[in-house]
Every structure is written in structure tokens, then in C-alpha cells.
Homo-oligomer: A and B are copies of this chain.
Amino acid sequence: MSERNPVIPDCPAEAENPRGRQGVRLTSLRRAILEILMAADFPVKAYDLIEYMRDKGKRVTPATIYRTLDFLLQNGLVHRVNSLNAYIPCTGEHNNHALLMVTCSGCQKTTEIDDQDLYDSMRSRLEELGMSLQGGCIEIQGMCKECMRYPQPSTG
């Protein structure tokens, strides 16, 4: 019962804690949410997380879910897929936030792309335009092989 919640390793938020303070911790709720996201191989919506939790016998409200998601986002453990209002677990290094994501317009599966070169070329091009890509996320709409082969009726 009195097991301590683990401190998150390499956690950016950790650094902000004054010395001697307790670290940023992965509580059971946070872990549960993260595990749901990791188990799913597609982006999951906030209110679906509430459903999943209720199925597990745990009632949580929207505010709690969003706070939890905020925490996980802040600490680089999950990403938000803006085009879907949904969330995926972070599969890259926690410190490597050169984040590119591709979402398949057919099946909505979203994968992180770990490609420093691509990210860098994007960054240098943006800097020519007077914009800085400092850790900013790049979200791409594409289509996966499967969905290319068997296109959705509506999508053409």
C-alpha cells in the first residue's frame, strides 16, 4: 500500500523542482492512462479514456483526464494528435523532442517519425522564413500502404 510512486527518469519537469523537493511522479492513474495509450495501436480520445477507465472499475471525470493528459504531455510521455483530438504514447527518447508525426487519413493510425535530418532540413528552411522551429511539433496528413490499397469509400 505504501509503495512510492516512481520518479520519472530524464524528466524535463524534474529540473524545475527546487532541490530537495519531491520529484515528478508517475502515479497509478497516470500510469493507467499511459498504459491504455500504449496498448492501443491508434490514437485514443480523452473521453474514450474515461470509458476505458470506467471499464476497469475506475470512475474519472473529464477534468481529471485532461489534467493527467497535460501532465503526460508536459513530461514528454505522450503526444497530442491535433487533427484527431486524440493522444498517442511517445515512442522516442524523452529528450529527443524532434517530433514529427504522420497520421493516416484513412485509418487514423499515427506514428512518430524519428528523423533528425528531415527535422533539421525543415528547421533550416523555416529559419530562412524567419521562423524558429524550437522543439515544435510537425504534424503530417498522409496515407498508409493499406489504406492506399483499399481506399475508404468516402475518401476516394
- Asked if A142 contacts B148 (CB within 8 A), the reply is no
In the complex, identify which listed stretch (A24-32, A42-50, A69-77, A125-133) lies at the interface while the others stay far away.
A125-133
In the complex, identify which listed stretch (A1-9, A33-41, A56-64, A115-123) lies at the interface while the others stay far away.
A115-123
- Asked if A122 contacts B118 (CB within 8 A), the reply is yes
Interface of A is mostly: mixed
Q: Which residue of B lies closest to A139 (CB)?
A: B139
- Asked if B138 contacts A139 (CB within 8 A), the reply is yes
A113 interfacial by beta-carbon distance below 8 Å: yes
Q: Which residues of B are found within 8 Å of A134, using beta-carbon distances?
A: 142-143
A102 interfacial by beta-carbon distance below 8 Å: yes
- Asked if A144 contacts B131 (CB within 8 A), the reply is yes
